[in-house]
Amino acid sequence: MVDPATAIRLSLIVGLLATCLGFPVAVAAGWLLARRHFVGKTALSTLLLAPLVLPPVVTGLLLLKAFGARGPLGGLDVPFTLTAAVLAAFTVGLPLYIMAARSAFEAVDPHYEEVSVSLGVSPWATFRRITLPLALPGILAGAVLTFARALGEFGATTVLAGNIEGETRTMALAVYTLLEMPEGEEGITFLAWVSIAIAFVALAGYELTVRWQRRRLETRR
């Protein structure tokens, strides 16, 4: 039994939670990679962006080994729960988030920060009042991409969260399940159109936020 409405609801919940959880991590990592030079920066960047190029099933397997019963984080009881679906989407989508945040911070002229600090404003206040607001549209663009990526996540979710109706069966998993059912064509068509609509809305939102970022930076030059 596959309930398309439940699958859509779960996908939206997973996408929103993964995006919200990723925001502080993406901001911190993006700022660090954009503004600081330190030993091991390349290694850190490679580690953070690795899920972008790893097969999602491999990413899911690594997460399962970490959170499985015999893993170092096995006591958290994560596998085959909604938390597992969110964690899988978060891990796979985070590289896009970090890349967008890094690009957004790199686009902000450091001169604004230097002037602020020279006037006696603390680095944290400078970041909060100047750097982050200027970079925010670009970071939000990354959030949109991360949300869209989370909605389409399949491989890592399958391994870590399973395919449990009403608990972890997102739209991608629902489509896969319906493919094996003789009467599943109608449900597949519905979910496919919903996925396409969400993808187009997300891409349109991404384009609008990128343009917003560009206009804001250009007006300050």
Contacts of 99 (CB under 8 A, 6+ apart): 30, 49, 52, 142
How is residue 20 annotated by DSSP?
H
SS3 of residue 168 by DSSP? coil
SS3 of residue 179 by DSSP? helix
Residue with tokens 């006696």: 120
State the Cα–Cα distance between residues 130 and 40, nearest whole angstrom: 28
Where residue 97 sits, what CATH number does that domain have? 1.10.3720.10
State the Cα–Cα distance between residues 25 and 65, nearest whole angstrom: 22
Give how many domains the chain has, as a whole number.
1
Q: What share of the chain is helix, strand, coil (3-state, %, to 5)?
A: 80, 0, 20
Residue with tokens 């988030």: 97
The residues of the chain scoring below 50 in pLDDT are none
Q: Structural domain of residue 50, as residue ranges?
A: 4-219
Q: Is the pTM of this model over 0.75?
A: yes
Task: Give the model's pLDDT for residue 219.
Answer: 67
